[in-house]
Structure 1
Amino acid sequence: MRAIVCEQIDQLKLVEQEEPALQPGTAVVRIRRIGICGTDLHAYKGNQPFFSYPRVLGHELAGVVEQIDDSNGIVRIGDQVSIIPYMHCGVCIACRNGKTNCCTDMKVLGVHIDGGMRELIVVPVTHLLVTNELTLDQAAVLEPLSIGAHAVRRAALQAGETVLVIGSGPIGLGVMAFAKHRGARIIAMDIQDERLAFCKQWAKVDETVNALHGAKERIAELTGGEYPTVVFDATGNARSMTDAFGYVAHGGRLVYVGLVKAELSFNDPEFHKREMTLMGSRNATIEDFAAVQEAVRSGSIDVDSFITHRVPFAEMINRFDSWLKPESKVIKAMVEL
């Protein structure tokens, strides 16, 4: 079977691999869609934590079950599925407390172990969601949208709160969409006006702020000087994540959804006087996937305009570099098999 391997920084290669063998409690899935995300791009450029080379990338996956060993009969041959790519141990303190998304021995497809940028993959049946009622595109974007949904749930967001979301990539957009669904007032911040316009159109945000033009003053103006009660940073940028401390209301929460390969520091008096809560939000749980699946199924989430670029599997390597450039205007690129 064909697979695309990130052999080292800035190097992708199309190779032939042996087809995976069915194991007890697993399914062999023929991959039909692969979403490209920031993790893939960061790994390609050498900026992804917890990563080693060579690695088959790809964790935003949809496909069709070709073989299965499932005694429960929940998933069947021929079912279309989305894959939950977080392989947790099930026995650590996080898993025992229902926090499988931050398992102490987490193995994420395409990061710690080989992912789905190949024609066939074998995964545990427990990590499959049957998505026969969705399109392949919709099934493939459940994972990135679930990260946003998890962050919103983790923040315990309440209707009526004012929320600032920094970063309008796919993860930030997911945060905006699900925060809006909770009844929050949303301020989107980015450095590109075109991206901010997309936030208005797609996520229906209430206000936008260009981070390059008096951002703090503008946020203060939009909140009557009180600042947002919840700030989500989905940039994966150390400068932005540090600056975000200055945008949080007294008694508010700062949620890091993005991940950066760097040390961060903050001014303790400013942090202390606000009695601020700082949170990390990692991955998602099956509950988040189910909530997103229902939102997509009901039409609350517009997947068609979320996906802006498409490419056949065999041509992906030639297009990958272009997606790193701002002028390509990529929101979500989708690889088709």
Structure 2
Amino acid sequence: GSDLKTYRGQNQMVSYPRIPGHEIAGEIVQNGENVPSEFQIGRLVTVSPYSSCGKCLACQQGRVNCCPYNQTLGVQRDGAAVEFIALPYKKVFLVGNLPEEQIACIEPLSVGWHATNRAQVSSKDIVLVFGCGMIGLGAIAASGYKGAKVIAVDINDLKLEKAKALGANYTINSQKENLEKKIFHLTSGQGVNVVIEAVGLSETFKKAIDLVCFAGRVVYIG
């Protein structure tokens, strides 16, 4: 979705002109010096599209994802919608023999998976996921894999069907149903244990707080 917005000139985080592409499936065609032997020519890979300076406070604390000097492929620097791209080997990950279409999904799906880790989702939880785009679907699949009951919320019925196919126990179209009434009915008036917000709107940020139970957890992906 973000690459499409970049292509259309609608991504406010992007500096233009810019080559998009941050969800990557590739093949190793050449290695530089000191690259480990497992990175053999012909191996299929995916890539972490982010950079970090290694010197700031966040990096020194091991929170390289919070580096204020990050430059994301396709956002602050040119991305992978090109024939060849050169990257440090530490940003490259071997992926076995997955189809290229699946390899390109690893980066966005991993964002949703990471959100469930931050929320410490377990089989005891009822998890509400706002947004059934690629990242939200990753959170839905990961929550189901961890044994939680999952409620998926979106305004697009086709996306809700995908959420159901990936393990959502309940789906709610918030334009057609009373969201609060449905959530509190499903949770016996308590609210959900975990909310994962994967939309990025002020309305859903607020709803996350309104619908989580006391002592619950909220993760904002945006």
Q: Under a length normalisation based on structure 1, what TM-score does the superposition of the two structures give?
A: 0.62
Residue 129 (str. 1) matches residue 89 (str. 2): no
**Greater fraction strand:** 1
- For residue 163 of structure 2, what is the aligned residue in structure 1? 199
Distance in 2, matches of 1:226 and 1:46, equals 43
1:53 to 12, 16, 19: 16
For structure 1, list consecutive stretches of 5 or more residues without a partner in the other structure. 1-37, 259-337
Amino acid in structure 2 at the alignment position of 1:235? V
Root-mean-square deviation (CA, aligned residues, Å) is 1.6
- For residue 105 of structure 1, what is the aligned residue in structure 2? 69
SS of equivalent residue, structure 1 residue 229: strand
SS of equivalent residue, structure 1 residue 187: strand
SS of equivalent residue, structure 1 residue 255: strand
2:29 to 66, 71, 76: 66
1:189 to 153, 164, 173: 153
2:217 to 253, 269, 279: 253
Amino acid in structure 2 at the alignment position of 1:48? N
Distance in 2, matches of 1:97 and 1:73, equals 30
| Structure 1 residue 182 displacement after superposition | 1.4
- For residue 241 of structure 1, what is the aligned residue in structure 2? 205
Amino acid in structure 2 at the alignment position of 1:164? L
Instruction: Identify if the C-alpha distance between structure 1 residues 70 and 156 changes in structure 2 by more than 3 Å, giving closer, same or farther.
Output: farther
Residue 93 (str. 1) matches residue 57 (str. 2): yes
Amino acid in structure 2 at the alignment position of 1:77? I
State the Cα deviation string for residues 135-186 of structure 1 (Å, max 9, x = none): 2222211101111111111112222111100111110000000111111110
State the aligned residue count: 220
The worse-fitting range, judged by mean Cα deviation, of 108-117 and 74-83 is 74-83
The worse-fitting range, judged by mean Cα deviation, of 161-170 and 61-70 is 61-70
Distance in 1, matches of 2:158 and 2:68, equals 39
1:274-289 → structure 2 map (5 Å cutoff): none
Q: Under a length normalisation based on structure 2, what TM-score does the superposition of the two structures give?
A: 0.92
Distance in 1, matches of 2:45 and 2:194, equals 34
SS of equivalent residue, structure 1 residue 208: strand
Distance in 2, matches of 1:59 and 1:217, equals 39
